[in-house]
Amino acid sequence: MSEQGFVQHFVCTLDEARKIVDRYPEHWVSNCGCREGTGACKRSRIDVCLQFQAKTAAGGSGMHKITRQEVEDILEEARTKMLVSRPFRDPDVPGGIEGICFCCDDCCLYFKKHEEACDRGASMERTDPTACIDCGACVESCYFYAREVGPDGLVVDSEKCFGCGLCAGVCEAGAITMVQR
């Protein structure tokens, strides 16, 4: 990468990922480098590294052009399999995005080793404690460990929230919304 301090990935909600996808007329997909390197993922299929140009920094094999319907299938896979949307920046184009990794806690090195820098997203969780039923579904879905159910109910550490929105997607009580950071 070119400049010092460059952080390639950032986190966003699935809705924000869809808006990014809509900005690009063509799409490619490759296998996830993490899934290839660590073996089979228990959470999702291997070909979920979405790209917006034919050559990117993505490290997985099997790169090929896909249709808009295939992009929609990947977005649906991300929603149903609880994958975190992690767009990756183009180091040569300010504000440019090369693609989106869809990551999980089962095989992705980002969540397993926490060695790679990743920026927080533009959104963050907002939990209405009066609506929360302390079911714990949001705790299980938070790969960033920002939520836990203690003896007095749900405890949220907003400083740990990266803004993926998985918690809001599983909250049956509607107690969690995503707001601008």
Strands (E), the chain: 9-10, 27-30, 49-51, 64-66, 84-89, 97-103, 118-119, 123-127, 147-150, 153-156, 176-180
pLDDT of res. 2? 37
pLDDT at 40 exceeding the cut of 90:
no
pLDDT at 52 exceeding the cut of 70:
yes
**Predicted structure pTM score:** 0.91
Cite the DSSP H helix spans in the chain. 14-22, 33-38, 68-80, 109-113, 137-141, 166-170
- Which of 8, 9, 17 is closest to 169 using CA atoms? 17
The stretch 130-159 carries a mean pLDDT of: 93
Which part of the chain is CATH 3.30.70.20?
Answer: 123-180
Quick one: fold of 123-180? Answer: Alpha-Beta Plaits (3.30.70)
pLDDT at 38 exceeding the cut of 70:
yes
